[in-house]
């Protein structure tokens, strides 16, 4: 079992005051709260933080923890001393159940302060006695899943209370038909796939919140898709018909003469499908041809000569 | 205990359905007065329908669950939660714009 240095987790000194500990908790909780943070390991950090705070904010738990010293050397495994906990009475539950989506303690915490599975079970308020608990999970899908719909294998990690009353994480792999047109942040409901039904009742539902992996070409905004399309200066200036990718296959897109960088062209109903489907916006970028041989350098020189052009005229400076 | 890949399941998009106050309360495991407070403080909005009963968009489920976590974990009061949710939405949108612009 690994020793947890709760002072290090919270970034406070071992003699920190209660106020300093609370302050550190508040600051780090805002930073790593899974609903707020985009840090990759936010959920794990937040859980660890909650556990550290649970111990350090309680005078009795902190005193007991301090007796352990600074823990074993790195690599050594930790075992609580035989007289652990003598003379201390631990009250109250552990870190918040369901804190930011997961709530198990480390083995370290559970060994020292006991699990809170009991408390957690008890805290499940009986809003509907005849119904199994709903489960909530999050998955990352590819954009094609919503554009085309279709089956995806989803692996979910679900917290669950095992036969001994301990909280365990169970992996569950489901083959799910993704509803076409689902948007990031929306939820697939699988009726009856939550917790088993209590005697004579109905099972809970499984709610799967969907997010999309970033796509190589398209950015999603609401139901609309955005595609940045590079065009050559002469295509933008003179107009052209160019091949452009769309989710349904490539199409010929007419670039109007006199287009500028940032010009937005709308391809109606080629966004995320729905009764009122989204649109595909093609945003033009002007790509500059390289001047890496005499011929192309001469072409640029000829262009400079043919059209006096001061791109900085609006700044009130001479070319 | 279930294991292996479970057979083909199809679900619906939950957000396509409107929810009653009772349904939302049950799905979030909170009492109705809490939901009413959320509405009064601007955390949640109600879809206005010609009826005496409140209807919520399906997205309210996620919003209530997030709001409750923020309220509990960061000890923010309800106006603060409403502000945090609005700012998080705006941040999400802006992140999308920045990510695509950076390519």
Comparing A117-121, A284-288, A314-318, B58-62, the range with the smallest average pLDDT is: A117-121
Q: List the domain range (segments joined by +) for residue B56.
A: 15-101
Is-contact A120 B24, C-beta < 8 A? no
Name beta bridge partners: A212. Answer: A141
Dihedrals phi, psi of A171, to nearest 5 degrees: -95, 140
Between A194 and A255, name the one with better pLDDT: A255
Residue B2 confidence (pLDDT):
47
Say yes or no to pLDDT of B16 above 80. yes
Convert the pLDDT of each residue in A44-93 to its tens digit: 889 899 989 989 988 888 888 888 776 666 566 676 766 666 556 565 44
Residue B3 resides in a domain: no
Residue, of A1 and A281, whose pLDDT is higher? A281
Which residues from chain A sit within 8 angstroms of residue B95, using beta carbons? 38
pLDDT at B103: 45
Dihedral over Cα of A74, A77, A83, A87: its sign = positive
Judge whether A311 lies within some domain.
no
CATH of residue A27's domain is 1.10.287.110
Residue B65 is assigned to a structural domain of this protein:
yes
d(CA B85, CA B41): 12
A46 neighbourhood in chain B, CB within 8 Å = 73
**pLDDT of the residue at A186:** 92
Cβ–Cβ contact B98 with A under 8 A: no
Q: A22 and A109 share a domain?
A: yes
Euclidean distance between CA atoms A36 and A32, whole angstroms:
7
Count Cβ–Cβ pairs < 8 Å, chain A vs chain B: 105
Q: What is the pLDDT of residue B25?
A: 92
Cβ contact, residue pair A182, B62, below 8 Å: no
Give backbone dihedrals phi and psi of A128, rounded to 5 degrees, phi first.
Answer: -150, 100
Counted domains in chain B: 1
Burial profile A64-102: b = 16 or more Cβ within 10 angstroms, e = fewer: bbeeeeeeeeeeeeeeeeeeeeeeeeeeebbbbbbbbbb
B47: CATH: 1.10.1660.10
Contacts of B4 in chain A (CB under 8 A): 173
In this structure, the answer to whether residues A198 and A227 fall within a common structural domain is no
A141 plus A48 within the same structural domain: no
Does residue A313 lie in a domain region?
no
What is the reported pLDDT for B50?
A: 65
* CATH code assigned at A183: 2.60.260.20
Give the burial string for A35-58 (b: 16+ CB within 10 Å, else e): bbbeeeebbebbbbbbbbbbbbeb
Give me the residue from B27, B69, B97 closest to A35, CB to CB. B69
Half-sphere exposure (CA, 13 Å, Cβ side) for A4?
24
Q: Please determine, for residue A182, whether its predicted confidence score (pLDDT) is greater than 80.
A: yes
Are A72 and A20 in a shared domain? yes
Average pLDDT over residues A30-43: 86
pLDDT exceeds 70 at position A120: no
Q: Would B45 be classed as within a structural domain?
A: yes
Average pLDDT over residues A85-113: 57
Which of residues A212, A244, A276 is at a domain's end? A212
Shortest Cα–Cα distance, A190 to chain B (Å): 5
Give the C-alpha separation, B84 to B72, whole Å.
14
Domain that holds residue A193: 135-212
Q: Does B15 touch chain A (CB under 8 A)?
A: yes
**Sequential DSSP letters for A98-116:** TGGG--PPPHHHHHHH---
What residues 29-88 of chain B have any CB closer than 8 A to a CB of chain A? 29, 58-59, 61-62, 65-66, 69-70, 72-74, 84, 88
- Report the complex ipTM: 0.81
Number of domains in chain A: 3
Among A123, A154, A186, the domain-final residue is A123
Distance CA B86, CA A155 (A): 31
What token pair was written down for A204?
Answer: 């809970």
**CB within 8 Å of chain B, chain A residues 257-316:** none
Mapped onto helix, strand or coil, the DSSP state of residue A214 is coil
The two counts, helices (H) then strands (E), for chain A are 9, 11
Kindly report the pTM of this predicted structure. 0.73
């Amino acid at each position: 079992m690994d020793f947890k240095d709760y002072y290090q987790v919270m970034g406070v000194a071992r003699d920190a005051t209660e106020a300093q500990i609370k302050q550190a908790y508040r600051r780090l909780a805002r930073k790593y709260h899974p609903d707020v943070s985009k840090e990759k390991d936010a959920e794990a950090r937040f859980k660890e933080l909650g556990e550290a705070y649970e111990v350090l904010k309680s005078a009795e738990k902190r005193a007991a923890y301090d007796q352990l010293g600074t823990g074993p050397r790195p690599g050594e495994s930790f075992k609580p001393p035989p007289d652990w906990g003598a003379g201390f009475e631990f009250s109250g539950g552990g870190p918040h159940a369901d804190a930011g989506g997961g709530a198990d303690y480390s083995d370290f915490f559970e060994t020292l302060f006991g699990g809170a599975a009991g408390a957690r079970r008890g805290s499940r308020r009986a809003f509907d006695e005849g119904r199994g608990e709903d489960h909530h999970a999050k998955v990352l899908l590819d954009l094609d899943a919503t554009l085309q719909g279709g089956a995806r294998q989803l692996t979910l990690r679900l917290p669950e209370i095992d036969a001994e009353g301990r909280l365990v994480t169970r992996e569950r792999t489901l083959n799910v038909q993704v509803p076409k047109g689902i948007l990031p942040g929306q939820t697939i409901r699988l009726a009856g796939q939550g917790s088993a039904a209590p005697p004579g009742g109905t099972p809970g539902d499984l709610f799967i919140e969907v997010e999309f992996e970033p796509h190589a070409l398209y950015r999603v905004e609401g139901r609309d898709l955005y595609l940045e399309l590079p065009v050559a200066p002469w295509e933008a200036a003179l107009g052209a018909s160019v091949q452009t990718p769309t989710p349904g296959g490539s199409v010929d897109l007419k670039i109007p003469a006199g287009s500028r960088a940032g010009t937005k062209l709308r391809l109606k109903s080629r966004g995320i499908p729905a009764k009122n489907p989204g649109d595909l916006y093609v945003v033009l970028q002007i790509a500059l041809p390289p001047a890496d041989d005499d011929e192309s350098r001469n072409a640029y020189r000829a262009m400079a000569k043919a059209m006096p052009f001061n791109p900085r005229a609006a700044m009130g400076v001479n070319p | 205990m279930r294991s292996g890949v479970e057979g083909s399941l199809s679900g619906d998009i939950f957000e396509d359905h409107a929810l009653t106050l009772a349904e939302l309360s049950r799905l979030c495991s909170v009492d109705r007065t809490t939901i009413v407070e959320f509405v009064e403080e601007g955390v949640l909005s109600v879809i206005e329908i010609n009826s005496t009963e409140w209807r919520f968009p399906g997205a309210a489920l996620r919003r209530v669950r997030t709001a409750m976590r923020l309220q509990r974990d960061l000890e923010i009061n309800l106006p603060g939660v409403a502000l945090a949710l609005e700012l998080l939405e705006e941040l999400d949108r802006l992140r999308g714009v920045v990510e695509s612009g950076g390519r």
